[in-house]
Amino acid sequence: MTTRNEELFQRAQQHIPAGVNSPVRAFRAVGGAPPFFERAAGAYLWDADGKRYLDYLGSWGPMVLGHTHPAVVEAVQAAASKALSFGAPTEAEIELAEAICRLVPSIEMVRLVSSGTEATMTAIRLARGYTGRSLIVKFEGCYHGHADSLLVKAGSGALTFGNPSSAGVPAETAAHTLVLDFNDSEQVKKTFSARGSDIACVIVEPVAGNMNLVLPAAGFLETLREQCTKHGAVLIFDEVMTGFRVAQGGAQARYGITPDLTTLGKVIGGGLPVGAVGGKREIMQKIAPLGPVYQAGTLSGNPVAVAAGLATLKLVEEKDFQAKIEATTQALIQGLIAEAQKAKVVFSAQSIGSMFGLYFRAAPPASFAEVMQCDKDRFNKFFHAMLDKGVYLAPSAYEAGFVSAAHGGAEIDSTLAAARAAFKA
């Protein structure tokens, strides 16, 4: 019998390419019809057939408090009852900017946008405008949204479908993007000694989360900082994923590295579309209308989205928030490793803050090449076995997972029970 999910998926494909708009387009890689969701609360989601799922994706990162947190819903309702959009400043935007600058110390000024892609695109333009140089450096498997110059050997959905460099990006544009190997400090040094005076910026996910989860090797982020400073290039940390997840002040706080610019998204919108680019005052003052680097957006600083972000950050700022969510994530990872060992499955896992990676490989990967060695078919099998049991993981072997503050001991126990069976599938 056709389920309601399947019916909706058939219908969606008539007028929406592949039937999807969101990153769940990745579902095509694991096969089958994606669940169409109707509601969510705390750590759980319900699909169109009324099936409940324990959620480890959190809308691809933003839902750090869990779904429909009462404080966030109340803030959104209050803001929506006053206005949906002004395209003019509000006091709440100042409060959100103040909160971001307080929580992420390298950010002296911040401009709100509506997505992570807008944030990274703006950061690159700012770096080029500030330095007067064209070349940008990124790392294979890192994903920084879908702006042309960044869709070169990218991670996330692009990698999931085996098209890490998108069609439609002119070769002339891609030629300005140098792609290096994540965690290869020597290659970074060599590149800077050859082309240092042409490099406008280095953009990096300080903890890579779009080729599964890859932690920075000892000294890698330090090398980026040192080389950018030495050669007058701008260091951009893309913390769209890691912001308020890897630590309250992001990966930069956890690893003690100060970037020149930071891009944010996901958590700062609490589930509504907000992105941000921020950093050194000297660079941020180049942005229009203060400076010559143009940036725009009709809905930037939207009052409803800002209200959701502010309500979320207020709770994220509470003492022990990060420690508790990190402990839950560690319990999940240790439990999964133990279950895989019992089932004699070649598997490893790791976490940092409330982000985690699962790998069908003996040890966590430290490079893009090692990520490629993970057993993708085994992942797809595990994914579907977990989904059947009501556990919703990222539908791609190349995405990090997320735990929320609404996950607790009961959720970890039921996940491990599901995994016990799924490792045998």
| Min separation Cβ 157 and ligand HOZ, Å | 3
The smaller minimum CB distance to ligand HOZ, of residues 23 and 164, is found at: 23
| Min separation Cβ 169 and ligand HOZ, Å | 16
Which distant-in-sequence residues (6+ apart) come within 8 Å of 365 by Cβ?
212, 214, 359, 371, 373, 374
Which one is catalytic: 53, 56, 143, 255?
143
The smaller minimum CB distance to ligand HOZ, of residues 398 and 423, is found at: 398
Q: What is the contact mask toward ligand HOZ in residues 121 to 150, using x (rule: CB under 6 A)? A: ----------------------x-------
- Indicate whether 62 belongs to the interface with ligand HOZ (CB under 6 A): no
Please say if 238 is a catalytic residue.
Answer: yes
Among the listed residues 8, 9, 19, 23, the single contact to ligand HOZ using CB under 6 A: 23
Residue with tokens 């096969």: 31
- Indicate whether 114 belongs to the interface with ligand HOZ (CB under 6 A): no
| Min separation Cβ 265 and ligand HOZ, Å | 8
Among the listed residues 191, 210, 227, 380, the single contact to ligand HOZ using CB under 6 A: 210
Among the listed residues 120, 122, 156, 227, the single contact to ligand HOZ using CB under 6 A: 156
Among the listed residues 60, 130, 192, 220, the single contact to ligand HOZ using CB under 6 A: 60
Cα–Cα distances in angstroms (integers) from residue 236 to residues 194, 200, 252, 388, in the given order: 20, 10, 11, 40
Bin 260: left if φ > 0, else alpha if -120 < ψ < 50, else beta.
alpha
The smaller minimum CB distance to ligand HOZ, of residues 115 and 131, is found at: 115
Please say if 266 is a catalytic residue.
Answer: yes
- Indicate whether 55 belongs to the interface with ligand HOZ (CB under 6 A): no
Which one is catalytic: 47, 55, 255, 266?
266
- Indicate whether 399 belongs to the interface with ligand HOZ (CB under 6 A): yes
- Cα(209)–Cα(143) distance, integer angstroms: 8
Which one is catalytic: 47, 55, 238, 260?
238
| Contact by Cβ (8 Å): 138, 144 | yes
Structure tokens belonging to residue 210: 């779009």
- Indicate whether 239 belongs to the interface with ligand HOZ (CB under 6 A): no
Cα–Cα distances in angstroms (integers) from residue 411 to residues 53, 235, 329, 408, 414, in the given order: 11, 39, 11, 5, 5
| Min separation Cβ 147 and ligand HOZ, Å | 13
The smaller minimum CB distance to ligand HOZ, of residues 163 and 229, is found at: 163
- Indicate whether 260 belongs to the interface with ligand HOZ (CB under 6 A): no
Sheet hosting strand 275-279, strand order edge to edge: 109-113, 275-279, 261-264, 234-238, 199-204, 135-139, 177-180
In terms of Cα–Cα distance, which of 377, 365, 379, 28 is closest to 208? 365
| Contact by Cβ (8 Å): 262, 107 | yes
| Chain position whose Cβ is nearest to ligand HOZ | 157
| Min separation Cβ 166 and ligand HOZ, Å | 11
Cα–Cα distances in angstroms (integers) from residue 189 to residues 65, 193, 208, 392, in the given order: 40, 6, 20, 41
Tell me which long-range contacts 383-387 makes (C-beta under 8 A, separation of at least 24).
Answer: 383/30, 384/30, 384/31, 384/32, 384/425, 385/418, 385/421, 385/422, 385/425, 386/418, 386/419, 386/422, 387/35, 387/53
| Min separation Cβ 399 and ligand HOZ, Å | 5
Chain positions contacting ligand HOZ, by CB under 6 A? 23, 60, 143, 156-157, 210, 399
Q: Which residues are catalytic?
A: 143, 238, 266
